[in-house]
Amino acid sequence: MRKNILFFLFVSLAVLTPVHTAQAANPWAAIIKAAIKRVVRAVDLLIQRRQNAVIKLQNAQKALENTMSKLHLDEITDWVKKQRDLYKEYYDELKKVKAVISYYFRIKQIAEKQVLIVEQYQKAWGLFQSDKHFSYSELIYMQKVYEGILEQTAKNVDMLSLVVTAFSTQMTDVERLEMITRVADQVELVHDELVSFNRQNQMLSLSRARSELDAKLIKQLYGIQD
């Protein structure tokens, strides 16, 4: 908890400094991106381990099927029943492992979306600071909005880390899925708010164009399509 408080304090101090360069809050954006990348690396490692387990289970399942196909089932009923039970265990375990892998891939997608949020923020903030169509007070307001976006993104990273850790603790599939869905919804909400806020600022700048040439330059700056 203390670590999170310090982190948000650093973010706040960075964002609230005078808006002379786009580098003001970027170091803390870089910290968030580094945290997300650590989550992605952890997930990649877990996926690799689970995929190796899938291969082993599939090989064992195939070997068992080949053995059973060569036997006269009516002559060795008891043995076959045991093997069928074993086969079922392999099959059930295989389903569980594949389900976990699907969870991991979903977590990775969420993490990648968070990286996209930070990158979009960095790009937009850099452009807005160099745009002469905004006043100093407007840039200060933008900073405060971006501060909130960074804080929520940091919280989402913490939650995502908790989800990854949860795979090594006692948790039902329903609980795990609820956590993943909750984080995914929060990340999507932050992304949509960021895109909307950036778009509003771009159109505000365009509305203040002093000439057709000025408007053309603004469109080129932000990639606005006619």
**Averages of pLDDT over each 10 residues, the chain, 226 residues:** 41 44 60 82 75 69 64 57 66 70 83 92 94 94 92 88 71 78 93 96 95 94 88
Residue 215: per-residue pLDDT? 93
Residue 48: per-residue pLDDT? 76
Tokens of 6: 């310090």
Write the DSSP assignment of 10-67 as a string of letters: HHHHHHTS-SS-TTSSHHHHHHHHHHHHHHHHHHHHHHHHHHHHHHHHHHHHHHHHHH
Taking the C-alpha atoms of residue 86 and residue 73, their distance in angstroms, rounded to an integer, is: 15
Residue 175: per-residue pLDDT? 79
Taking the C-alpha atoms of residue 14 and residue 32, their distance in angstroms, rounded to an integer, is: 13
Write the DSSP assignment of 132-170 as a string of letters: TTS-HHHHHHHHHHHHHHHHHHHHHHHHHHHHHHHTTS-
DSSP class of 121: H
Beta-carbon contacts of 89 under 8 Å, excluding residues fewer than 6 positions away, are none
Residue 100: per-residue pLDDT? 72
Residue 174: per-residue pLDDT? 76
Radius of gyration of the chain from its Cα atoms, rounded to whole angstroms: 26
